[in-house]
Amino acid sequence: MLAGVLVLVGACSLWVGVRGHRVSLALPTRPHHVVSTVGSSTTVPAAPTGVARSAPVALSIPAIGVSVLVSQLGLNPDQTVQVPTDFQVPGWYRLGPSPGQVGSAVILGHVDSYQGPAVFFNIRQLVVGDAVDVTLADGVVADFAVTSVAMYPKDQFPAQQVYGSHGSIGLQLVTCGGTFDSQTGHYLSNIVAYTSLVRTIAPVPTDAARTEGRN
């Protein structure tokens, strides 16, 4: 994780949906292992290994009817995070981990536009246990489950919590929400759906691959 990661915080408008601001994110410290003692034995949980880095290409959230392609986001010339250009296509922040890698992958999406609801309009309706499935470019499918959904005032966006690596494998979905200020044209908050990895599914080899493997 880069020491100066720039993240999305909550200056969001009805017409824009999400907007990037500059936030300095300190290099995360190495997570502490939890040691539990049962009788005379001591157990140190192994650190998660994750999957190989591969860009997400599709996102499915069945509980809210989302099944879409995923774009990639980087930084603007002013060093703010890019936002998706299509209101119905979310974007993965490619300067962070990819979904399924150790760390916190982040996918950003618009909440609405002047035309109506956008791709992440119903993120706020997710509940603990809802599935979030990501298909990667290498064919691996990473299945996540929602662990919590939170809303933060834009000036209290928890950048370290959302973007920082905590030694686990997570995917965070970020959009705007809360009260809409018609005078400024901005939403006053961000909504974040936190998820954790449940499993990964390797792609099924094709007949050609099986044949090549036998030769």
pLDDT digits 0-9 by tens, 22-60? 433 332 322 222 222 233 344 444 444 689 999 999 999
Measured at the CA of 157, the angle between CA 30 and CA 126, to 5 degrees, comes to: 95
- Number of Cβ within 10 Å of residue 178's Cβ equals 18
pLDDT tier, 187 (very low <50, low <70, confident <90, very high otherwise): confident
Q: What is the mean pLDDT of residues 65-78?
A: 94
Tell me how far apart the alpha carbons of residues 136 and 177 are, in angstroms, rounded to a whole number. 28
pTM of the model: 0.78
Q: Does an H or E element contain 210, and which?
A: helix 207-214
Kindly report the length of the chain.
215
The pLDDT of residue 209 is: 54
- Average pLDDT of 90-94? 96
Q: Which of 67-71, 101-105, 111-115 has the lowest mean pLDDT?
A: 111-115
**Cα dihedral value 161, 191, 126, 65, nearest 10:** -120
Dihedral of alpha carbons 106, 21, 112, 161, sign: positive
Q: What is the pLDDT of residue 101?
A: 96
Give 76's pLDDT tier (boundaries 50, 70, 90): confident
The full set of domain ranges for the chain reads 12-26+55-214
| Percentage of the chain exceeding pLDDT 70 | 73
Take residue 64 and report the two structure tokens written for it: 């809210």
pLDDT bin (cut points 50, 70, 90) of residue 65 is very high
The pLDDT, as a whole number, for residue 155 is: 87
Cα angle 51-18-14, degrees, rounded to a multiple of 5 = 145
Judge whether residue 18 has pLDDT over 70. Answer: no
12-26+55-214 is a CATH 2.40.260.10 domain: yes
Q: Distance (Å, rounded) from C-alpha 193 to C-alpha 26?
A: 22
Query: Which one has a higher pLDDT value, 96 or 33?
Result: 96
- Cβ neighbours of 39 (radius 10 Å): 5
